[in-house]
Homo-oligomer: A and B are copies of this chain.
């Protein structure tokens, strides 16, 4: 069997995305109808599709409201789907968050709240803490995204500036039972980080949030600083009795997606090395490290022999310095390509499983052994593109952007490096 490396990489990405489709993974986790009411709430890029999967498969009466990203709504009949902005929150999200708050207030012990959470829920369900405005949260979110802080660090700050995050939504539901179905898009599936953990107890503190703000020199509005310094932004801590009836189930995750991609690679006779489902770090540096591991495969057959694929997930970081059209995955690919210098037989694909890498409606891109040569022909300088954070401009010009449209799910980034020097030799002869 001859497999085109580009098609194989794309199939692996598609398999990872498919493993996290709500219609496939939600039904098995639906609860028995409760004695009282079933209220469906939630927020995230996958939460519209999760709501649809609930409606299609749940046997009892239900009502509810779920927030998803603009363009991510799917037709529902009984659960209202509200669209809002991501990654910087807007008023639509704030109004919907207030309605969710109202929906779960005053419930009884017989009621059950089914909470459908997925990545992006943090921005989509903005609930500024007392004294903060939505504008404040927008300013803070923009500053966080540009700061170079990791996703875990950004979420720690966000959790302490909200009335719903860090377990406070579940506390509001009390005394009703709460069942949360989670599609994880965060490093190590750390539950308080998924959509800033609205139904999950949180060990981090206002002091932790302040330390992060100081470390990355983030300019906070005075009201936000006061909130953190006074401790008024504190989250719900483990052991809190209001969370005694809150259950969490992880139904999709980066690791499950990587394993699905590995099945595709193995079927095409490639060895597979999963390096991590939660690789973090500055995207361009992660690209350099991955180039080092790629060289080791090619030169020394370690950690495994070619032909093989190196897989990794998790969320890298981009410290924005330029004004190009960028994203974590294309930034990673540019750095990888520069470090590999057109190494024969090495292909790569990196993309965000939600279909959106950065602010562009592009999932990611493909790198081939001749990417640099083709760029030169077009007069593109990859080092300059990288310095300008212009990954989408670069790969778009080459025709190597990967465009999926909204995938309606999100298990974070997907990176695959395919190393097959012999395959290239075959193609050349």
Contacts and interface: CB of A to CB of B under 8 A. Distances in A.
Interface of A: 187-188, 211, 215, 255, 273-282, 285-286, 288-289, 291-293, 295-296, 299-300, 302-304, 312, 314, 339, 383, 387
Contact of A275 (B255, B278, B280, B296): B296
16 contacts: A188-B295, A215-B383, A273-B302, A273-B303, A274-B296, A274-B300, A275-B293, A275-B296, A275-B303, A276-B289, A276-B295, A276-B296, A277-B296, A277-B300, A278-B296, A280-B289
Nearest to A339: B280
B292 A278 contact: yes
B277 A281 contact: no
A289 B285 contact: yes
Contacts of A280: 288-289, 291-292, 339
Contacts of A285: 281-282, 285-286, 289
B293 A276 contact: yes
A312 to B, nearest CB: 8
Most buried by B among A188, A292, A295, A314: A292
Contacts of A187: 292
Nearest to A282: B285
A387 B217 CA distance: 12
A215 B387 contact: yes
A279 B292 CA distance: 5
A274 B289 contact: no
Contacts of A383: 211, 215
Contacts of A300: 255, 274, 277
Contacts of A289: 276, 279-281, 285-286, 289
A394 to B, nearest CB: 16
Given A215-B387, A383-B215, A274 B302 contact: yes
A18 to B, nearest CB: 20
A314 to B, nearest CB: 6
Contacts of A299: 188
Nearest to A211: B383
A267 to B, nearest CB: 19
Contacts of A304: 303
Contacts of A277: 296, 300
A185 B288 CA distance: 18
Nearest to A279: B292
Q: Which 4 A-B pairs have the closest CB atoms?
A: A285-B285, A279-B292, A281-B288, A276-B292
Contacts of A312: 292
Given A275-B303, A279-B292, A285-B285, 18 more contacts: A275-B302, A276-B289, A276-B292, A276-B296, A277-B300, A278-B295, A278-B296, A280-B289, A281-B286, A281-B288, A281-B289, A281-B292, A282-B282, A282-B285, A285-B289, A286-B289, A289-B289, A303-B303
